[in-house]
Amino acid sequence: MVMNEIERREVNEAIDAADDAIYHLKSARRCLDSAGTWGLFDIFGGNLLTGLIKHSKMASAEREIDDARYALQRFSKELRDVSGFSSIHIGDFLTFADFFFDGFVMDVIVQSKISTAKRQCDDAIRQVESIRKKLVMI
């Protein structure tokens, strides 16, 4: 397929948006890993300090999830501009953070939510990387 300059620019913009989304998704995943580790410390004999650190790590994860959500929205928008691609389905990722940090008091429940968020983050990373690979091959 031979692309004109406008089509090539649209593909490049979609690739750039994919790179940004992948960066924030991976950063969110690292923050979730850290929050999960501190959450386990908190469950198994933690003290006030471990609880504070866990909540700090969760706050960092929440910020990265918000950045990833914005980056995924931008990627979806840019993808609509590329012929042959439709926007990605990001609804699940966009909504999980809304209930993830809504004041759960039991550490075990928080750990479960962290695990769920990590799986959803991994799924989103795989999906964006797969589409990015197809864009590069155009």
Q: Is 83 helix (H, G, I), strand (E, B) or coil?
A: coil
First-last CA distance in the chain? 7
Q: How many domains does the chain have?
A: 1
pLDDT digits (tens, 9 = 90+) for 58-102: 889 889 988 998 999 899 889 888 877 766 666 555 555 544 444
**Is the confidence at residue 131, as pLDDT, over 90?**
yes
Average pLDDT over residues 24-42: 89
Which residue segment(s) compose the domain that 35 sits in? 5-136
Q: Which of the two residues, 125 and 39, has the higher pLDDT score?
A: 125
Could you give the CA distance from residue 16 to residue 18 in angstroms, rounded to a whole number? 5
How high is the pLDDT of residue 112?
Answer: 85
